[in-house]
Every structure is written in structure tokens, then in C-alpha cells.
Amino acid sequence: MQELPDELISQIAAGEVVERPASVVRELVDNALDAGATQITLRLLAGGVRLIGVEDDGVGIPPEELPLALRRHATSKIRSLQELESVGTMGFRGEALAAINSIAEVSVLSRRAGADGAWLLDGATGELKPVARAQGTSVEVRELFFATPARRKFLKTDATELAHCIEAVRRHALARPDVGFAIWHEGKLIEQWRAAATPAQRIADVFGDEFVAQSVAVEHQEGAVRVSGHAGVPDAARSRADQQFFYVNGRYVRDKVLAHAVRSAYEDVLHGQRQPVFVLHLAIDPARVDVNVHPTKIEVRFRDGREIHQAVRHAIENALAAPRAAAAAQAGE
Ligand code: ADP
Ligand code: MG
């Protein structure tokens, strides 16, 4: 028996966190948001396989901490189990950059708020050198999976990988209308969502005015659960479940309890395989939801699943009933 070398441990961890370029995009944008960025720019080459660059204007990383950012289990976000239980940041595992650095060529360039210079760290050599940059951080990830060709074989066409990368940013963008996002691919600007938008404006920017015009606002408090967002009217339903977004305390999640609650709310008004469209945000006490279920943090576990199910179901049922009640009242006048 032997202990595995550090590099291999990171590569094994990377297998869980990084499935494709979009996984890297998600981790880097998470970090930018945790750093308080107001503008995030993504630059991709070949659907992200050749290059994923994420630039932000967040608080930055001091040069002495740059090497630490690429080390396993190094994080500035939590210090104790207690802090984990009420974690408010997207990240907390201190794993993503180390994992990505073990399966790609990584560089991190950062200028800390208030510092008079920026520093560039080469992830392969650990070399640190001074460069010019405004406040914030740029992370570049090149040649993803170059060291793990088996993984590289599973990648789809550049167009498909690009679509997944855009979807990853879209998930963040819908949660953070206050932050501006831009996506460049092969030197062309392909998406741009302005900062300081309202939630409805952001949905319209991302999906078009149609989505908002054909949806009702959801605003519902039940016990300790607050549900808000937009739910499409039955006529707006689609054949594919591609416009369904759940957030728990700002984190995009996929969850059976939530999916089932929505399905039951639409039960009487949607037929066959029609899929409702929605962007729903749940605000609950962070101590009542476990986000540390899986390294990708896309799954969560609720302490009070039934309460949450009811709150979501009622939130949508009420929202869908409101315009009909208003229309009926008008017709009766
Ligand atoms: P985690 O996000 O779980 O802490 P990561 O591996 O994603 O772990 O990042 C490690 C650390 O590097 C973070 O805790 C943070 O201190 C720093 N960091 C990474 N990206 C950025 C960024 N864009 N801006 C500021 N700090 C960053
Ligand atoms: Mg992170």
C-alpha cells in the first residue's frame, strides 16, 4: 500500500468536479461572484476546450496567497464546521482551482483592491511575476484534459461544449441580475447581459421579452420559506424542459422535491408532456439546507422537504390563479 501523490489525488478529485468545459466555467464564475464582482467576462476558444478565460473586477487575491489558491483544500471562505453550516458563498471546498490545475494549463492574474500592482501566477511552474492589470482577477484555463486523454475523448463538438458553457453562465446570470456578463467565443461577442438589471429585465435579456410577457410574478412567503421569481403561464409551456431554473439561496440546484412541487402546481393546467418555464428563487435559513452533498454542489438536501414542497406548490398555484381571478372579476363587471 502507498499514499497517492498529490497530483494524482487532485486529478481524481477533478474527475468529480470537471466533466467538461462548462464545469470549469461554473467554478470560475462562482469564484468571481464570491469575490464581489460586478462585471464578469468569459473568453472561450474551441467551445472552451482550448481556452476558458474568466475576468472579474472583484476584490482580487494578494500575491502571497496566489500559490495557495491553487492548493488543495485551501479556501478563504470558511474556517470551521460552524461556518460551513451557514455558508453564504458559492464555494467553500477549496478544491476547484487545484483540481482544474491538475488537468489543464492554468494561470491566475490578480490585483488586490488597494494594491499598487498585479501578479501573474503560472500554475505549472509556480512562477510569480508582476504584470499590469486593474483590480480583480483573471483565470485562464488552457488545453483542458491534455493530461487525461480518456476524458478528452468524451468531449462533444465545440458547438455543443460552447452551448453548455453558455448555459452555465445563464444559470448564474438569472440569479444575479445585479452583475453584468459578457461571453466571447473565438474573438466574437456572443452574449452580453447588462449589469444592474431587475430580475424581470435579466430574464428578458437572457430569454427574450416573450418569457416575461408570458409569465406571472411569484412572490410567496410560507412559514420560514420565501419563494419568488417568474412562472410561465400554461400557454408558454414547451416540449423540452430547457427553461426551468431553481435557486436555493442564490445557488442553482436540481432537486426532485422542487421539481415535483412545480409539477403538481401545474397538474390541472398543463397536459401531456408539456414542460412549464420558470425561474424560481427559494430563500431559506442556510442552516436548514445542506449544500455539501456533492462536489458540484448542484444537489442539496432539505431539512424540511415537505414544508418546502408545499411552499413552492402554493406559490405557483397562487400566482397562476391571480391573473385568472382578476380576469374573471373584470368579465363579471
Ligand atoms: P473555493 O471557492 O471553494 O474557496 P477554489 O479552488 O475555487 O475554492 O478557490 C480557492 C481560493 O482562491 C478561494 O477561496 C479564493 O480565496 C481564491 N480565489 C479564486 N478565484 C478568485 C477570484 N476570482 N477572485 C478572488 N479570489 C479568488
Ligand atoms: Mg470556488
Give the global pTM: 0.94
Could you report the per-residue pLDDT of 89-140, keeping only the tens digit for each?
Answer: 888 888 899 999 999 999 999 999 999 999 999 999 999 999 999 999 999 9
Clarify whether residues 50 and 181 are in a common domain: yes
The atom of ligand 1 lying closest to the CA of 58 is 24
What's the CA gap between 288 and 296, in Å, rounded? 19
Last-in-domain residue among 148, 176, 193: 193
pLDDT of residue 257: 95
Report, as an integer, the average pLDDT of 304-333: 84
Last-in-domain residue among 193, 210, 245: 193
Classify 137 as helix, strand or coil: strand
What's the CA gap between 31 and 39, in Å, rounded? 13
The CATH number of the domain holding residue 170 is 3.30.565.10
Clarify whether residues 178 and 282 are in a common domain: no
pLDDT of residue 327: 65
Minimum CA distance residue for ligand 1 atom 13: 75
Q: Which DSSP category does 275 fall into?
A: B
Tell me the ipTM for this assembly: 0.99
Clarify whether residues 326 and 184 are in a common domain: no
Q: Does some domain include residue 167?
A: yes
Q: Does some domain include residue 1?
A: no
Could you report the per-residue pLDDT of 136-172, keeping only the tens digit for each?
Answer: 999 999 999 988 888 888 899 999 999 999 999 999 9
pLDDT of residue 292: 80
pLDDT of residue 18: 92
Among 34, 83, 95, 297, name the best residue to mutate to test ligand 1's pocket (greatest count of ligand atoms within 8 A of Cβ).
Answer: 34
Residue 172 host element (H or E): helix 158-175
Of the chain, the percentage scoring pLDDT greater than 90 comes to 79
Task: Return left, alpha or beta for 272; rule: phi > 0 is left, psi -120 to 50 is alpha, else beta.
Answer: left
Could you report the per-residue pLDDT of 211-231, keeping only the tens digit for each?
Answer: 999 999 999 999 999 999 999
Least confident range of 84-88, 251-255, 308-312: 84-88
pLDDT of residue 196: 87
pLDDT of residue 131: 97
Domain, as residue range, for 158 = 6-193
